[in-house]
C-alpha cells in the first residue's frame, strides 16, 4: 500500500460518504478534501460543509455545476439523440465525467495524490469516475472503499458510525428509501429492493419527480421549443440557459406524467440489472430534437447519426466521455448541427409527448412545392423515377437473370 497524503473525496454529506471520510482517515492516515456538487439533484448542498467540518475536514469544496453540466455534457449528448439500449437516456452516466473532471481539478489545486468515491464495485459508476480520472491525470491514485472494505451492509455501516462517533441522523435513515437512488438535473434513478425481481411491477410511491399518467391533468399542455445549432435556447419564446431549460422541462414534464422508464439494462461490468428512471425533461428533449432534425437535417446525415448513435451512447454509458473516440464522434455530431434551427411545438398529455408542429424559417429542407400531392408545376419530374429505379435495380436484375434471384425469405 503506497503512501497517500491527501485524497479528494466526492462527498454527498450522506451516511456512506461520511463513513468513507473517517475510513480514509483511519486506513490511509491521510488528509481529506471533500467535494460536493450541486448538479441539480434537488437537495441542499450547503449542509455538507458543516458535516465535513465535523469530521475534521479542512479543505471543503462546494460547487454549483448545474450550468456546466447542462451546457457541456447534457446538451452535447442530446445533439446525438442518444439512447442506450433503445430506452435509457443516460442520466447517471452523463454526470460522472463532470464529477471526475472536478475531482481532478481539485486534486491539482490542493496537491492531492488520490481521489475517492462512494460507488460500489458492481456498478458502472466506479468505471466512469475512474476512467475519467485516469484520462485527465494518469498518475492519480484512486481509492474505491466499497471494493476494499468489509462494510458490505447497512448494518455494518451503522455499527462503524457508532464505533467512530460519526453523527448519523437515525430518523432520516429509518425513513430512507428502500431503493438505491441517484439524482441530478437530468434524472433520478432507482435500483435494488423489490426491483431486483424483473417481473415485479414498480410501486407507485417509488417515483419522486413525476406524477403518474393517471394523476396527471386532464388537459394537455402545449410547449414551443426554440432550437439554435441543435440546442434549445428558448421555451415558449422565453430565452433560457441550458440548466433552466432542463429544469423547466422537468417541471412541466413531471407534472404531465412524462419520463418514467422501467428497464433491464446491461452494465459494462458484465451483468444485467433492473433500473427505473424518471427523466421528464430529457424525454421531451429527445422527441423534440428528432422533430427539429426531421425538418432541417439532410437525410444521409440523419441516417449516419442514427448508425453512430448506439456506439456514442455506449461510450457514455461505459464511462468513456473523456476518450479520444468520444471526441472524434462529437466532432462529427456537432458538425451536423449547424442548421438545426427552428421551433418544435409539442403537446404533453398524461405521459405522452406528442409532436404537433415543427418549423424553421431559415433551415427547413421540407420543400412543399416538391412534396405536394397536388400539381407541382414541374418542380419534380416523375419520369426521373424510372431511371432511378432501373439503375438501383440493375444489380438485382443481373443477379436474377443469372439464376440468383431472391428465393425464399
Supply the residues annotated as catalytic.
Answer: 16, 96, 125, 180
Nearest approach in angstroms of CB 260 to a second copy is 8
Q: Which grid cell sits at 131?
A: 476512467
Taking CA atoms, 158 is separated from 172, 177, 204, 394, in Å, by 13, 16, 29, 74
Nearest approach in angstroms of CB 370 to a second copy is 5
Nearest approach in angstroms of CB 373 to a second copy is 4
Q: Which helix (H) or strand (E) holds 114?
A: strand 114-116
For Cα atoms 223, 252, 225, give the angle at the middle one, nearest 5 degrees.
Answer: 30
189 labelled as ligand-binding?
A: yes
Count CA atoms within 13 Å of residue 263 on its CB side. 17
Query: What's the rounded Cα separation, in Å, for the pair 253 and 216?
Result: 10
Query: What's the rounded Cα separation, in Å, for the pair 29 and 23?
Result: 9
Q: Which grid cell sits at 350?
A: 398524461
For Cα atoms 271, 276, 280, give the angle at the middle one, nearest 5 degrees.
Answer: 135
DSSP string, 392-405: HHHHHHHHHHTT--
Task: Please say which residue, 250 or 273, places its beta carbon nearer to a second copy.
Answer: 273
37 labelled as ligand-binding?
A: yes
Q: Which grid cell sits at 92?
A: 447517471
φ/ψ of 118, rounded to 5, equals -100, 25
Task: Please say which residue, 109 or 298, places its beta carbon nearer to a second copy.
Answer: 298
Nearest approach in angstroms of CB 261 to a second copy is 9
Query: What's the rounded Cα separation, in Å, for the pair 146 and 125?
Result: 12
Closest by CA position to 298, among listed 344, 243, 335: 335
17 labelled as ligand-binding?
A: yes
Task: Please say which residue, 8 or 135, places its beta carbon nearer to a second copy.
Answer: 135
279 labelled as ligand-binding?
A: no
Closest by CA position to 41, among listed 139, 157, 187, 163: 187
15 labelled as ligand-binding?
A: yes
10 labelled as ligand-binding?
A: yes
Task: Please say which residue, 175 or 270, places its beta carbon nearer to a second copy.
Answer: 270
CA atoms 19, 24, 25, 26: torsion sign = positive
18 labelled as ligand-binding?
A: yes
Q: Which grid cell sits at 132?
A: 475519467
For residue 48, count CB atoms less than 10 angstroms from its CB and return exposed for 0-12, middle for 13-18, buried for 19 or more.
buried
Q: Which grid cell sits at 309?
A: 448513435
Task: Please say which residue, 60 or 302, places its beta carbon nearer to a second copy.
Answer: 302
For residue 328, the SS3 value is helix
Q: In whole angstroms, what separates CA 128 from the centre of its chain?
A: 12
320 labelled as ligand-binding?
A: no
Residues flagged as binding site for L-citrulline: 88, 93, 124, 128, 180, 189, 265, 277
Residues flagged as binding site for L-aspartate: 120, 124-125
Residues flagged as binding site: 10-18, 37, 88, 93, 118, 120, 124-125, 128, 180, 189, 265, 277
Amino acid at each position: 500500500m503506497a503512501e497517500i497524503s491527501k485524497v479528494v473525496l466526492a462527498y454527498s454529506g450522506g451516511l456512506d460518504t461520511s463513513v468513507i471520510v473517517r475510513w480514509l482517515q483511519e486506513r490511509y492516515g491521510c488528509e481529506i478534501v471533500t467535494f460536493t456538487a450541486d448538479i441539480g439533484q434537488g437537495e441542499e448542498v450547503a449542509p455538507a460543509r458543516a458535516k465535513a467540518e465535523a469530521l475534521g475536514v479542512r479543505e471543503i469544496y462546494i460547487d454549483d455545476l448545474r450550468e456546466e453540466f447542462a451546457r457541456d455534457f447534457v446538451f452535447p449528448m442530446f445533439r446525438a439523440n442518444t439512447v442506450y439500449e433503445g430506452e435509457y437516456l443516460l442520466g447517471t452516466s452523463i454526470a460522472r465525467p463532470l464529477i471526475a473532471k472536478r475531482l481532478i481539478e481539485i486534486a491539482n489545486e490542493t496537491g492531492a495524490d488520490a481521489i475517492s468515491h462512494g460507488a460500489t464495485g458492481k456498478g458502472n459508476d466506479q468505471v466512469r469516475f475512474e476512467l475519467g480520472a485516469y484520462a485527465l491525470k494518469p498518475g492519480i491514485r484512486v481509492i474505491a472503499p466499497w471494493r476494499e472494505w468489509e462494510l458490505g451492509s447497512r448494518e455494518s455501516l451503522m455499527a462503524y458510525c457508532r464505533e467512530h462517533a460519526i453523527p448519523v441522523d437515525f430518523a432520516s435513515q429509518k425513513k430512507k428509501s428502500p431503493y438505491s437512488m441517484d439524482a441530478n438535473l437530468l434524472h433520478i434513478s432507482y435500483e435494488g429492493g423489490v426491483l431486483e425481481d424483473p417481473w415485479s411491477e414498480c410501486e407507485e410511491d417509488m417515483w419522486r419527480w413525476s406524477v403518474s399518467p393517471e394523476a396527471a391533468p386532464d388537459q394537455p399542455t402545449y410547449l414551443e421549443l426554440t432550437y439554435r445549432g441543435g440546442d434549445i435556447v428558448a421555451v415558449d419564446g422565453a430565452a433560457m440557459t441550458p440548466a433552466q431549460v432542463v429544469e423547466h422541462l422537468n417541471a412541466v414534464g413531471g407534472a404531465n406524467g412524462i419520463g418514467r422508464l422501467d428497464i433491464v439494462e446491461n452494465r459494462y461490468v458484465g451483468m444485467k440489472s433492473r433500473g427505473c428512471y424518471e427523466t421528464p425533461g430529457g424525454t421531451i428533449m429527445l422527441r423534440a430534437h428528432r422533430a427539429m432534425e426531421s425538418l432541417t437535417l439532410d437525410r444521409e446525415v440523419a441516417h449516419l447519426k442514427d448508425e453512430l448513435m448506439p456506439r456514442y451512447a455506449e461510450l457514455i454509458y461505459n464511462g468513456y466521455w473523456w476518450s479520444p473516440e468520444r471526441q472524434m464522434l462529437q466532432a462529427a455530431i456537432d458538425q451536423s448541427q449547424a442548421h438545426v434551427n427552428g421551433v418544435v411545438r409539442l403537446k404533453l398529455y398524461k405521459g405522452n409527448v406528442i409532436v404537433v408542429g415543427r418549423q424553421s424559417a431559415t433551415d427547413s429542407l421540407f420543400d412543399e412545392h416538391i412534396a405536394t400531392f397536388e400539381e407541382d408545376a414541374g418542380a419534380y419530374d416523375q419520369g426521373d423515377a424510372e431511371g432511378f429505379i432501373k439503375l438501383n435495380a440493375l444489380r438485382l436484375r443481373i443477379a436474377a437473370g443469372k439464376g440468383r434471384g431472391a428465393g425464399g425469405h
